[in-house]
Amino acid sequence: MDYLVFRLYGPLASWGDSAVGGTRRSEYYPGRSALLGLLGAALGITRQQDTEQQALNTGYQFAIKQLCSGATLRDYHTVQAPDSVGKQVYRTRRDELTTGQDRLGTVLSSREYRCDSKWLVAVKANPTARWALSELAAALRKPRFQLSLGRKACVLAAPLAPQLCTAQGYKAALDNYEHPQILDEQWQEQRWLRDATAVYCWEGLTADLCAESDLSNAQQIQRHDQPVSRQRWQFSRAQHWLWQEASV
């Protein structure tokens, strides 16, 4: 099977989880919706292009190897916003501050970020994939839009360095990724940046990770990162999860 493998590294990352009240948590690793957004931004696809968005959603499957979960950073926010009472519609931030000036109130929120985290991502194309893996790799090298790690403020600290490979399962593709010289030498020296265990997350069948490894410890979890309906803003997906002693 052919795979496209690239790395994600940055000082800050935020992978959205279920939002309850004013707390905006971050998962330890990127979800499917975040990876689809990353590929869409690289290809230059906007949110209004529903056909292209659906082609991305149905054309590819992902696996992730978490090399370092990083530390948690919590940022406290206060935001002024008008209430939603009545029929008034605020289409821009300027409308909120001008038209809704008399109804402004303070909204408190807390947002989580992951600090100094590193992941590897493997992409597998389905038979109906619209873009070849080589086209995705070219787009990641020269993206049309600015790429980020979840939020726009979380910029990349190293090139994605996409690589095409043929392997027997996600695990072989991720484990055989050739780390570029830039950052890799510092990564090897700074052992505090590496977790004692590597975490693998993938979708599809359990055996898609690797046919030879013992997958008795693999778990299936439910994560809300698969776009079900953009209009109703619904997300849901089943995902496999496995951890083992880190080798990198």
pLDDT tens digit sequence for 172-204: 999 999 887 655 555 554 554 566 678 888 888
Contact status, residue 4 vs residue 167, Cβ threshold 8 Å: no
Return all residues near 207 (Cβ < 8 A) that are at least 6 apart.
169, 215
78 bridge partner residues:
108
Residue 54 lies in a domain: yes
Mean pLDDT over each residue of the chain, to the nearest integer: 82
User: Cα–chain-centroid distance for residue 241?
Assistant: 16
pLDDT in tens, 7-27: 999 899 998 776 666 778 888
Q: Looking at residue 78, what is its pLDDT?
A: 83
Q: Looking at residue 88, what is its pLDDT?
A: 76
Q: Look up residue 138 and give its two tokens.
A: 């070219």
More confident residue, 236 or 103: 103
More confident residue, 129 or 81: 129
Residue 191 lies in a domain: yes
Q: Looking at residue 126, what is its pLDDT?
A: 94
Q: Looking at residue 47, what is its pLDDT?
A: 81
Residue 178 lies in a domain: yes
Q: How confident is the model at residue 224 (pLDDT cuts 50, 70, 90)?
A: low
Q: How confident is the model at residue 248 (pLDDT cuts 50, 70, 90)?
A: very low
Contact status, residue 132 vs residue 79, Cβ threshold 8 Å: no
Q: How confident is the model at residue 87 (pLDDT cuts 50, 70, 90)?
A: confident
Residue 82 lies in a domain: no
Residue 103 lies in a domain: no
Q: Looking at residue 243, what is its pLDDT?
A: 65
Residue with tokens 């909120």: 96
Q: How far apart are CA 160 and CA 141, in angstroms?
A: 7
pLDDT in tens, 41-77: 999 998 888 899 889 989 999 999 998 888 888 888 8
Q: Reply yes or no on whether the pLDDT at 225 is more than 70.
A: no
Contact status, residue 121 vs residue 5, Cβ threshold 8 Å: yes
Q: Look up residue 54 and give its two tokens.
A: 């659906």
What is the length of the chain? 248
Q: Look up residue 162 and give its two tokens.
A: 């996409």
Residue 152 lies in a domain: yes
Domains identified in the chain, total number? 1
Residue 101 lies in a domain: no
Q: Note down the domain range covering 21.
A: 2-72+113-245
By DSSP bridging, strand 71-82 and strand 104-125 are antiparallel
Residue 108 lies in a domain: no
Of 97-101, 138-142, 186-190, the poorest mean pLDDT is in 186-190
Q: Reply yes or no on whether the pLDDT at 117 is more than 60.
A: yes
Q: What is the CATH number of the domain that holds 141?
A: 3.30.70.2660
Q: Looking at residue 228, what is its pLDDT?
A: 63
